[in-house]
Amino acid sequence: MFTVKPLPSAETNEDALVIGLFEGAKPWRGLAGAYDARLGGRLAELQKEGDISAKWGRLSVIHPFLPTGAKRLYFVGLGKQEELTFARLREGFGKLFRALKQAKRTAAAVVLDTFTTEAVDANEAAHALAEACYLATYEFSGYKQKKAEPDATLASLTVYTAADAADIKASLVVGSVYGKATNSARTLVNTPGNLLTASDLADYAVKLATRYDLDYEILEKEEMERLGMGALLAVNQGSAQPPKLIVLKYKGKERWEDVIALVGKGVTFDTGGYCLRPRDSMINMKTDMAGAAAVLGAMEIIGELRPEQNVLAVIPATDNMIGGGAFKPDDVITSLSGKTIEVRNTDAEGRLILADAVTYAKQHGASYIIDVATLTGGVIVALGTDKTGAMTNNEALFEQLLEASMETGEFIWRLPITENDRERVRSSNIADLNNSPGREGHAIMGGAFIGEFAEDTPWVHLDIAGTATVKKDGDLGPAGATGVMVRTLAAFVERFVDHNQG
């Protein structure tokens, strides 16, 4: 799809030529200046009149009507140079690609060097361009018998630059991989629960493992019973669908050591169990496996880019249903770790299945653990729908993850876990732990509970209940699943390698 070429003259016969504009800069130089000259200074006049704007988020389309050259000129307003970041540039490219899609453009060319600053170089701009191309144009096809005519898709994108072509091509590949993998996760999350059971999720993971030559293991119910995974099995008791524990191993080193474990909550539908959710709260609970999707998306990126790091993915998968055998409030269950749990709330099921998954990851060599889950409504009350909540037992690990999230533009905010919080989780009179000690600090209680199973292993918990989906279309994708944390997890692994080698 992407072709890299040297900077052209004005004699480019492109269907759509894209140029970035910064406020306060002199835009009418280079290729833009050549077109302005051919048009007798008309582009400069249009900017003065406000028809072409360098203000952030503005997109201007001009038809030169010249006998040769580009048929359309797209000017992307980038605001002030000193305010440009990777995430901001990616959003600007997102606006562009949504406009190209709406206009049914199938080919375009971008003058990449007009989108760079001292803070964002050509390689980063190329990454942002490719990532935005896939994120902004994503669609979930759905299941309508009569579907609308599909929009024309961008099939060819030429990137003009004075930078090293090989480096730019490599950055375009990385950006494409990040965008495609995020879209893979989006599709999983958007898929209805009856069409994405735990078995379906396991089948998807096996195909992913086969594609990228990953080791894999799918634990069935009988094996879980033999091992004593009482927490995961309890959540599954009311279901007609068997549970699965999905395990993927990427071996980036000769020896299986220094292992990063990515653990994703895979509740394919959540009724709340006998602590039944209200109707409105139950709608869209197909998305309760967004943590699992994030981990699988990250493993797709890892499989494509092959970092020199060992990565273990563990996904406990089940739905949480009501039935004659379903677990109940007041039940006491025994987890894989041996710790007993008093069930005070069957709708606090995510932390239960993650407890066994975290223990399993530790048993299989995890040196560091990051779990990702749509865990609590409490995190939405605390942080809104644009911030992922984070908790940790290790400052250094969290700082590295925070740097990765800042790089990808996926905002996370740390919440504390104090000794008082731990005491509340341990407050049961009849078991080691209480799975729901109360509404106060609800998001923290969920994280603190999982932390009891991470114990001394460096660990970060990410609660994506607010960020896994959006209700409105945005510059980087439509309403629905966001694929949040796919890129942050992958970037973390990459940064972890660089940090250790450095």
Q: What is the number of domains present in the chain? A: 2
pLDDT at 501: 54
Whether 83 and 187 map to the same domain: the answer is no
485: region left, alpha or beta (phi > 0 left; psi from -120 to 50 alpha): left
| Residue owning tokens 């970037």 | 491
351 annotated active-site = yes
Position 127 pLDDT exceeds 70: yes
User: Could you tell me if 108 and 188 lie in one domain?
Assistant: no
Residues 22-47, buried b or exposed e (16+ Cβ, 10 A)? beeeebbebbbebbbebbeeebbebb
DSSP-assigned states of every residue in 275-344: SPPPHHHHTTGGGGGHHHHHHHHHHHHHHHH--SSEEEEEEEEEEE--STT---TT-EEE-TTS-EEE-S
CA 162 from centre of chain = 32
Together in a domain, 302 and 374: yes
Q: Pick from 132, 162, 192: which residue ends a domain?
A: 162
| Whole-number percent of the chain with pLDDT over 90 | 91
The answer to whether position 20 is within a domain reads yes
Instruction: Establish if 416 belongs to a structural domain.
Output: yes
Q: pLDDT class for 495, splitting at 50, 70, 90?
A: confident
What is the distance between the alpha carbons of residues 502 and 500, in angstroms, rounded to a whole number? 5
Residue 152 pLDDT = 66
Residue 199 and residue 91 share a domain: no
176-196 mean pLDDT: 98
Decide if pLDDT at 53 tops 70: yes
Q: What is the pLDDT of residue 498?
A: 64
The reply to whether 477 and 396 lie within a common domain is: yes
Q: Is residue 284 part of a domain?
A: yes
Q: Are residues 139 and 207 in the same domain?
A: no
288 is annotated as contributing to ligand binding: yes
The reported pLDDT for the residue numbered 81 is 95
Residue 11 has pLDDT above 80, yes or no: no
Residue 92 belongs to domain with CATH number: 3.40.220.10
Q: Is residue 173 part of a domain?
A: no
Question: What local confidence, expressed as pLDDT, does residue 29 receive?
Answer: 85
User: Are residues 428 and 300 both part of a single domain?
Assistant: yes
371 is in an annotated binding site: no
Print the domain residue range for 220. Answer: 182-501
Q: What pLDDT score does 149 carry?
A: 65
176, part of any domain = no
Q: What is the pLDDT of residue 151?
A: 62
In a domain, 177, yes or no: no
341 & 452 share domain: yes
Are 243 and 322 members of one domain?
A: yes
- Over residues 71-123, the pLDDT tens digits come to 999 999 999 999 999 999 999 999 999 999 999 999 999 999 999 999 999 99
DSSP class per residue in 126-184 = HHHHHHHHHHHT-------SSPPPPPP---EEEEE-SS-HHHHHHHHHHHHHHHHHHHH
Q: Which of 90, 98, 186, 351 is catalytic?
A: 351
Q: What are 281-333's pLDDT values in tens digits? A: 999 999 999 999 999 999 999 999 999 999 999 999 999 999 999 999 999 99
Mean pLDDT in the chain?
95
The reply to whether 203 sits in an annotated binding site is no
Average pLDDT, integer, range 447-464: 98
94 and 214 housed in the same domain: no
Domain annotation covers residue 371:
yes
> Is 349 annotated among the ligand-binding residues?
yes
pLDDT at position 148 is 65
**Residue 31 confidence class, pLDDT cut points 50, 70, 90:** confident
- Residue 150: pLDDT band (50, 70, 90) is low
299 and 361 inside one domain? yes
pTM: 0.96
102-106, 193-197, 256-260: which range is least confident on average? 102-106
Task: Give the pLDDT score at 30.
Answer: 86
Helices of type H across 191-266: 198-212, 221-227, 230-236
Tokens 């078991």 correspond to: 431
Region 166-184: what's the mean pLDDT?
Answer: 98
Do residues 231 and 339 make contact, with C-beta atoms less than 8 angstroms apart? no
Is 330 marked as a binding-site residue?
no
CATH of the domain at 368: 3.40.630.10
Domain assignment present for residue 118? The answer is yes
Q: Which of 162, 195, 230 is the last residue of a domain?
A: 162
Q: Are residues 190 and 312 in the same domain?
A: yes
Rounded-to-integer distance, Cα 422 and Cα 434, Å: 10
